[in-house]
Amino acid sequence: MLVALPAWAAELKVAAAVSAKDALDEITGQFEKKTGNHVSVTYGSSGKLFTQVSQGAPFDLYFSADTESPAELFKQGLCEPPKRYGRGRLVLWTLKPSPLDIDKGLKTLLDPRIQKVAIANPVVAPYGRAAVETMRFAKVYEQVEKKLVKGENISQTAQFVDSGAADIGFLSLSLAYSPKLKERGKYWMVPLNLHQPIDQDAAVLKGSQELATARQFLSFCTSGETREVWHRFGLE
């Protein structure tokens, strides 16, 4: 049965990094139930969504997996001051059962049985940049470089490993915690000192036709009310 929304209900269009999907889907549902407004989210890599927003795509908010992209939009006068919604964690992930001893951490990448290592494209994906930083810091990048396969975003990177197209991959903890992958694989948490922090900001876009509702949604997403959801899906 169709339920008529109030005449004042707003329709928000959100561009969001795919690493935020599971948490943001739940938070969006809470917001819709609470306010009667509707939120439509387009997920992708932070870099590609940044390009779309910069070129005037009709979004109301932008959730990035980094801080640099929202900061650049703010510098260009395209968004309101960004707000922090979380800090991501990078993990090594493989299917289980697996012959690889992932508890060896980055040394696992040197296992001769590994043919392909999946990372998100570092040009457009913050988790991909963090993966490259990590391998360079650990001095394994040169040995692994020829084995790298690059996903368009962190979700496609996970698909490479989940499908067997790659033996192991660098994912976000949020994806390792996702309902789809949680029971299918095992992970090793990359220490924070091996890469720059993956702080993640969101911002209301100045071109929004629903500024008041967009601000309300961002406030909700960064409030104590939703902190447990972000944390449960791997964002600090």
Q: Show me where the domains of the chain are located.
A: 11-87+199-232, 90-189
Q: Quick check: do 11-87+199-232 and 90-189 share a fold?
A: yes
On the question of pLDDT at 58 being above 80, the answer is: yes
Taking CA atoms, 34 is separated from 9, 113, 217, in Å, by 12, 51, 11
pLDDT digits (tens, 9 = 90+) for 166-221: 999 999 999 999 888 888 999 999 999 999 999 999 999 999 999 999 999 999 99
On the question of pLDDT at 3 being above 70, the answer is: no
Of 25, 66, 6, nearest to 202 (Cα)?
66
Angle at alpha carbon of residue 57, lines to 53 and 60, rounded to 5°: 75
Tell me how far apart the alpha carbons of residues 32 and 118 are, in angstroms, rounded to a whole number. 36
pLDDT digits (tens, 9 = 90+) for 85-99: 999 999 999 998 888
Tell me how far apart the alpha carbons of residues 24 and 32 are, in angstroms, rounded to a whole number. 12
Classify 177 as helix, strand or coil. Answer: coil
Fold of 11-87+199-232: D-Maltodextrin-Binding Protein; domain 2 (3.40.190)
Fold of 90-189: D-Maltodextrin-Binding Protein; domain 2 (3.40.190)
Of 165, 164, 210, nearest to 184 (Cα)?
164
Instruction: Residue 122: count other Cβ atoms within 10 Å of its Cβ.
Output: 17
Helix (H) or strand (E) holding 84: strand 83-88
The reported pTM is: 0.85
